[in-house]
């Protein structure tokens, strides 16, 4: 069986030795483990047109990272919205629209979920503490290890996510200070935290269009999250078998 090439977005630059930071390593390991050939989509690539980036890829992983510029959802930036990387926004947002339009399988993780929502016209809490003070703690970044499961999510039993992982209630890690405020039209919220925050979305009428607010790549010691990456690889293979046509 062929090894599907799965593109993954990153805010990092290739370093002189061609090695990567530990964060990117987790995504690479999860994809390798699931049987994929991961292809980092650096913002330094000369041509960032989505059709050029997606050429030869069988699926796309929209990875975690810093905050999306609120320009892309028509808000002024607040002081708590940080680490904006304009080049990454400009690579990922058109690529997300392209993946949806061309029915290329994709998985969004953390920032990746937010990119999908913004690409489709939704918006974000620029900071959950500030804009949704009743929310539970979602930001364990730098406080606990990246695999620390901090809160439960309730998953819609009818969702693709529930079908893949086989459970509808599970404790996940939480390394985000932003989240979905207004859900984009056409996107389905398929998991919520107990404070009501959207923790997963799916795009209907798409072979595999999923995104989660947590970090499954840091929890591949659990069968559920290995199953999620395996499902992405199965969808990638199917996409190739069908001649990369929707």
Alpha carbon distance 158, 169 (integer Å): 13
Number of residues that bind Mn ion (CB under 5 A): 2
Return the residue nearest Mn ion (CB atom): 174
Site stretch for Mn ion (CB under 5 A), options 31-39, 68-76, 171-179, 234-242? 171-179
217 is catalytic: yes
Site stretch for Mn ion (CB under 5 A), options 42-50, 83-91, 92-100, 167-175? 167-175
Q: Does 173 bind Mn ion (CB under 5 A)?
A: no
Q: Does 160 bind Mn ion (CB under 5 A)?
A: no
Between 23 and 173, CB nearer to Mn ion: 173
Q: Does 111 bind Mn ion (CB under 5 A)?
A: no
**What is the spatial order of strands in the sheet that 149-155 belongs to?**
37-41, 5-9, 59-62, 106-109, 209-212, 198-202, 188-192, 149-155, 169-173
Site stretch for Mn ion (CB under 5 A), options 4-12, 161-169, 174-182, 201-209? 174-182
Q: Does 177 bind Mn ion (CB under 5 A)?
A: no
Q: In sequence order, what are the beta bridge partners of 39?
A: 7
Pick from 138, 160, 177, 237 the residue near Mn ion by CB under 5 A: 138
Which CA distances in Å does 187 have to 24, 143, 201, 204, 210?
27, 32, 6, 7, 10
Question: Least distance to Mn ion from the beta carbon of 231, Å?
Answer: 21
Q: In sequence order, what are the beta bridge partners of 170?
A: 153
Pick from 174, 178, 190, 220 the residue near Mn ion by CB under 5 A: 174
Between 10 and 174, CB nearer to Mn ion: 174
Alpha carbon distance 74, 209 (integer Å): 25
- Which residues are CB-contacts of 163 (< 8 A; sequence separation ≥ 6)? none
Element (H, E) at 26: helix 22-33
Catalytic residues: 110, 215, 217
Which residues form the interface with Mn ion (CB under 5 A)?
138, 174
């Amino acid at each position: 069986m062929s090894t599907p090439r799965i593109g993954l977005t990153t805010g990092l630059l290739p370093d002189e030795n061609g090695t990567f930071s530990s964060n990117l390593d987790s995504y690479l390991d999860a994809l390798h483990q699931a049987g994929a050939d991961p292809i980092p989509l650096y913002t330094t690539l000369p041509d960032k047109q989505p059709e050029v980036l997606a050429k030869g890829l069988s699926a796309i992983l929209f990875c975690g990272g810093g905050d999306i510029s609120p320009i892309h959802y028509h808000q002024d930036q607040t002081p708590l919205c940080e680490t904006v990387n304009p080049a990454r926004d400009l690579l990922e947002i058109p690529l997300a629209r392209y993946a949806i339009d061309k029915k290329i399988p994709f998985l969004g993780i953390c920032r990746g979920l937010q990119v999908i929502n913004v690409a489709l016209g939704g918006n974000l809490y620029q900071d959950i503490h500030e804009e949704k003070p009743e929310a539970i703690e979602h930001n364990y970044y730098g406080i606990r290890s990246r695999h620390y499961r901090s809160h439960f999510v309730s998953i819609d039993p009818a969702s693709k996510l529930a079908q893949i992982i086989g459970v509808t209630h599970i404790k996940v890690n939480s390394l985000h200070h932003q989240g979905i405020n207004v859900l984009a039209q056409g996107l389905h919220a398929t998991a919520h935290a107990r404070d009501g925050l959207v923790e997963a979305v799916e795009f209907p009428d798409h072979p595999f269009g999923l995104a989660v607010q947590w970090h499954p790549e840091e929890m591949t010691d659990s069968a559920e999250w290995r199953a999620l990456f395996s499902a992405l690889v199965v969808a990638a293979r199917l996409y190739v078998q069908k001649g990369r046509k929707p």
